[in-house]
Structure 1
Amino acid sequence: MASPHVDVDDLIATLEQIRKRGHSAHSVFRDWVELMLYALQRRDEPYLEILEDYRERADLDQPEGQRSPDLFATAFGQLQERMAETDADVLGAVYEEYGMSSDAFGQHFTPHPVCEMMAGISGIVDDSETDGRQTVLDPACGSGRMLLVGGRRHPEALFVGQDKDPLCAKMAALNCCFFNLDAYIVQGDSLTIDYQRAWQTTHSPMGGSVRELDEDETEDLRDSLTGAFENTAEEVAPDDAGQDSERQKEGESVSVSTLSGGEQASLLAFDRDQ
């Protein structure tokens, strides 16, 4: 189904109550995202560290249910309800409506209808043509909107997203968890293969889970991606590229060998059962 217009006015109104108590919109949204991410990982220490910034009189001298920590929890509940109603990237919609996107960095999320169209016209590889599970890759994933649309069409696939904006990477990790996808989300520049942090989300019948990889696991993830690309690039002969060009002219799908380095590495490293 196509994603409808996402109304997030009630969510923004809740976050605005916190902002008006002496906080910036950016810090409120960032802290809300991180609180949700830490809560889902059951990481109490960093969760409580964030809440220390919301213990001023303006935050705590409120009736029960209206304190800033309560409002963060209320916004989390509103987010879950709206996602259930729309099956859309509600978190990314709040990010955009709350004025968090940046013209200076060329940061604009792909509209939901465009994501639906792109997913609809993308070539689908038949299972018989692959050695393992299919992989969906977005090397500049933002809030993970394209991955979520792909997840509705191919929930059994593995999803790999990367974004150099720390907040966007965290939103993408949350979204993949919320939508119960098997995914790896990397914070870092896909053009330079820079991996700063990474999260893994895991599908289960009881709902998705998320965990942050430690430094060694993140480095292993990077090595597996780049290693897969280097090994495969050596096997690609010039004639193969020419044949791919001819197939492309004839309207046939292009093999993975014609993708860019980062795309090729991600697809090949994860094109297997986990």
Structure 2
Amino acid sequence: MASPHVDVDDLIATLEQIRQRGHSAHTVFRDWVELMLFALQRRDEPYLEILEGYRERADMDQPDGQRSADLFANAFGQLQERMAETDADVLGAVYEEYGMSSDAFGQHFTPHPVCEMMAEISGIVDDSETDGRQTVLDPACGSGRMLLVGARHQPTSLFVGQDKDPLCAKMAALNCCFFNIDAYIVQGDSLTVKYQRAWQTSHSPMGGSVRELDEDETEDLRDSLTAAFENMAKEQSKDDASQASEAQNVNVSTLSGREQASLLAFDSDH
């Protein structure tokens, strides 16, 4: 269920007015997400193409402010207001709550308090001790909730989220834009390192922006991230080997009698 401190009833009521005109809940939510994403990228053609599906006579006969296009826009405004009030993943909460009555949704995201705890355990809340900019990765990001929590603690980091579900990836891209985060959001399988699409969101004093990468940029992103993670794994392997070597070179004479006996017993077993 949605996080208890995020009330999305009014938002769902607005989307429900559209659904009752002959659309499925999943279609309405998906189109709402894509309309917001296209609007923020100023992509008029696909935006208008979606709205063509909501121009039935019963809809066009509605008074001003009650047509589906107006209701989608109203829901966008309600979303922004609720995010400002809660500083939370309201979009993901709407997805969870609205999807309860639909088999087409079928995903539930990590609750906000658990995200806070996971960020603390993983060290995201600590000041970075690394040189240069820190990168925070969530390989199954859902709506990007973990990235939002991490960005509150380390706003200057670069965040990378990936999810194989197209709708989740789009929600994560929107959230990173809404919360003014420098991030890359990838639609693709983290295990097979396959990227279908990718979006870049950028921080600025005027607010976040979002753009979809083209095929070449997406491939370059995949190559650069793969190389970075491979290098990180190699460095970690070197550190582990160094620590193991140091452990083997412990001066036995500095150990207590019981510690020396335990070490000798261990060596005799090997």
1:73 is the counterpart of 2:73: yes
SS state at 1:186 partner = strand
SS state at 2:225 partner = helix
Instruction: Identify the residue that residue 15 of structure 1 maps to in structure 2.
Output: 15
Instruction: Identify the residue that residue 90 of structure 1 maps to in structure 2.
Output: 90
Higher relative contact order (CA 8 A, sep 6+): 1
Q: Spell out, residue by residue over 1:160-181, the C-alpha distance to the aligned partner (whole angstroms, 9 max, x if none).
A: 0000000000000000000000
Residue type of the alignment partner of 1:159: F
Deviation at 1:63, TM superposition (A): 0.3
Instruction: Identify the residue that residue 160 of structure 2 maps to in structure 1.
Output: 160
Q: Give the alignment's TM-score, normalised by structure 1.
A: 0.82
User: Structure 1 segments of 4 or more deviating over 6 A?
Assistant: 100-106
- CA spacing shift, 1:23–1:4, aligned 2, 3 Å: closer
Give distance in 1, aligned partners of 2:9 and 2:102: 20
- CA spacing shift, 1:96–1:4, aligned 2, 3 Å: closer
After superposition, residues 1-274 of structure 1 pair within 5 angstroms as 5-99=5-99, 107-124=107-124, 126-127=127-128, 129-233=129-233, 237=237, 240-241=240-241, 243=243
Residue type of the alignment partner of 1:146: M
Paired-residue identity, %:
88
- CA spacing shift, 1:116–1:225, aligned 2, 3 Å: same
SS state at 2:53 partner = helix
Deviation at 1:57, TM superposition (A): 1.1
- CA spacing shift, 1:237–1:156, aligned 2, 3 Å: closer
Could you say what the CA RMSD is over the residues aligned between the two structures, in angstroms?
2.6
Q: Spell out, residue by residue over 1:143-165, the C-alpha distance to the aligned partner (whole angstroms, 9 max, x if none).
A: 00000011111111111000000
Aligned length: 244
Q: Between Structure 1 and Structure 2, whose CA radius of gyration is higher?
A: 2
Residue type of the alignment partner of 2:114: V
Give distance in 2, aligned partners of 1:105 and 1:12: 15
Residue type of the alignment partner of 2:8: V
Q: Give the alignment's TM-score, normalised by structure 2.
A: 0.83
- CA spacing shift, 1:135–1:237, aligned 2, 3 Å: closer
